[in-house]
Structure 1
């Protein structure tokens, strides 16, 4: 029985050893099989070759020709003959402004009336008294000398009274001194106080017009002199004129408002009025301040400046850039003259 037991134990031990060996073999086989599913090492990938971008330049050739420096602005037609309605001796309470902007008036027409305080009635009464005195004097011509003398003195007295009342009445109203168009009316109501020399109405002659250009800064027109030609265009109708007054040539005046206006206004007279021109019409004005012919010139965008240095970049052989210092001359609206540094035909790079 002991022998049989030992035999069984030896058999079991052998089976265990064989099973262990088989297990290790399976594990190694699986491990090696797993490795066969991994991708093969292809080595380190090389970076793709990138072709550098070709830089594009905006270029222009240096040319020779004419260059013009001009001032382009908008101007307004206004009259050269204007009458300002003002009470110069004394003011008073406003009765009525009897005209409106756009009205056409004749010389002598009433524009403004102050409150009369029955002065018109008094003037009429005095006119009647004067006529009676004239009639009495005529009747006394055939009477004795004393009666004629008394009638004559009475006529003189009534004439003086009438003239004084008439002068007082006339001082209460303003009339136009010219034929023209009402271009301004002060915004006042009946009974408002009117100061001496306050402009209440302005009348302008519409047949005598010139162009006025107003600027905020007088330096914008400082290069313009009296006599410089100017073109004036109104609705495609272009006429020529010339500058007749600049801020530096304006007349002296004690009127502060007028002095301020002159300091920022340029006046142009035209040889003939363009079709449709009237007071207040807007026109395009071009004034040439400088002009040169047969000069080297480039687009303004080709000129570069830095810390007081003026230079351009030129493109050589279609690929090489080089900077060249230049001396600019007249600077127009789109082009600039180059006095020194460039030659016709060179290619410059624009900014």
Structure 2
């Protein structure tokens, strides 16, 4: 019974504390509920202006060689050596990469030795033949002179001396005929085996050089390596492009292709180049439609097309020290400009079901005005064609 009284007393005491805590005026003042901020009506009012406008497109560009070449192996296999990396400058004839060619090099060296031996034997045979021809020619000349002398003796001889002179003349003529026959034989006598040996050796060298060339990639001119995508030990298919090199003596600017911009690009369009995004001074560059710096090689399996980039020429007044392959530049394409146009911020224009319009504030009244056309689009204002005049107040959405 005593325990029940104690529990009742505790319960009543707790209830009193709760009532006191919730009573008005007890403790500090209650925290008021914050009111939502009131939007400023004036901030949503825009004024129609009349003035100049320029529509431009910003592009990022990169300086690259105007002459480029895609390089590849002409045989499939494993790469054993790669001697360059992207950005390296190399001389013409430098071996950039190769497959396993040790056996081919040994065979080629032996084939070249065989060719030199065959050529030496042929040269020796030709020298001997020239000597024999000269010797036979001299014999013919000598016997012609002897025939002439014998003929002279015969013409002068009389009596019994004439018969002897005739005999000598006939002998001289026979010897001349033999000398001429010997000369003809020497002239016609060639050794086809020697020439065939040289041809066989030459074909062997050319075949091995071809096999070696299929397994090596050599710089076609003094160039800079623009792209390298192989490493030693990698298996590569024939005709798969693994290097792109360029001639650093002639440079252009390329920028990633923009489909929305493509229809507006012509060779007459105004384009300015800046080396820094904050530069005020720019250089005028020319757009190069349908330009393709990469040599189109039908053997290559990854030949690019002109649709990958926009290309622009560089003016001659740019200092050479500013022109470095791979340098990033900034391009500003001027799509149009007008000295006098009606202008509104794009945020003032409403759109519903594809129709654009604005709400004009006329005193206490408002009216809807259709926007017939959006013209040039500037950085913060657009050109509009509508039944508006400068100074009209437009209520924002």
The normalised TM-score by structure 2 is 0.63
Among 73, 77, 81, which residue is 1:92 paired with?
Answer: 77
- Count matched residues: 290
Q: Which moved more, 1:220-229 or 1:118-127?
A: 220-229
Structure with greater strand percent: 1
8 Å Cα contact 2:70-2:245 kept in structure 1: yes
User: C-alpha offsets along residues 18-76 of structure 1, whole Å, 9 cap, x if unaligned?
Assistant: xxxxxxxxxxxxxxxxxxxxxxxxxxxxxxxxxxx995403443222222222212122
8 Å Cα contact 2:357-2:370 kept in structure 1: yes
The normalised TM-score by structure 1 is 0.70
Do residues 230 (structure 1) and 275 (structure 2) align?
A: no
Counterpart Cα distance in 1 of 2:288 and 2:239: 28
Do residues 322 (structure 1) and 322 (structure 2) align?
A: no
Query: Residue in 1 aligned with 2:211?
Result: 168
Query: Residue in 2 aligned with 1:283?
Result: 329
Residue 181 of structure 1 and its aligned partner are, at CA, apart by: 0.2
Residue 325 of structure 1 and its aligned partner are, at CA, apart by: 0.3
User: Which consecutive residues of structure 1, in runs of 5 or more, have no partner in the other structure?
Assistant: 1-52
Evaluate the alpha carbon distance shift between residue 326 and residue 336 of structure 1 in structure 2; reply closer, same or farther with a 3 A threshold. farther
User: C-alpha offsets along residues 97-135 of structure 1, whole Å, 9 cap, x if unaligned?
Assistant: 222222212222222212114111111112222222233
Among 175, 178, 195, which residue is 2:221 paired with?
Answer: 178
Aligned with 2:42: secondary structure? coil
Aligned with 1:280: secondary structure? coil
Among 58, 71, 76, which residue is 1:72 paired with?
Answer: 58
Alignment of 1:15-54 (within 5 A): none
Aligned with 1:245: secondary structure? coil
Counterpart Cα distance in 2 of 1:340 and 1:232: 35
Aligned with 2:105: secondary structure? helix
Do residues 83 (structure 1) and 125 (structure 2) align?
A: no
Alignment of 1:1-351 (within 5 A): 56-58=41-43, 59-88=45-74, 90-140=75-125, 141-142=127-128, 150-190=193-233, 192-214=234-256, 218-219=259-260, 221-235=262-276, 236=279, 238-245=282-289, 258=303, 262-272=306-316, 274-275=318-319, 276-316=322-362, 320-327=364-371, 328-330=373-375, 331-350=377-396
Q: CA RMSD in A?
A: 3.3
Residue 233 of structure 1 and its aligned partner are, at CA, apart by: 1.0
Report which structure shows greater RCO (CA 8 Å, sep ≥6): 2
Residue 315 of structure 1 and its aligned partner are, at CA, apart by: 4.3
8 Å Cα contact 1:234-1:274 kept in structure 2: no
Counterpart Cα distance in 1 of 2:327 and 2:237: 32
Residue 333 of structure 1 and its aligned partner are, at CA, apart by: 2.7
8 Å Cα contact 2:241-2:301 kept in structure 1: no
Counterpart Cα distance in 1 of 2:213 and 2:301: 29
Residue 187 of structure 1 and its aligned partner are, at CA, apart by: 2.8
Residue 297 of structure 1 and its aligned partner are, at CA, apart by: 1.6
Q: Which moved more, 1:153-162 or 1:105-114?
A: 153-162
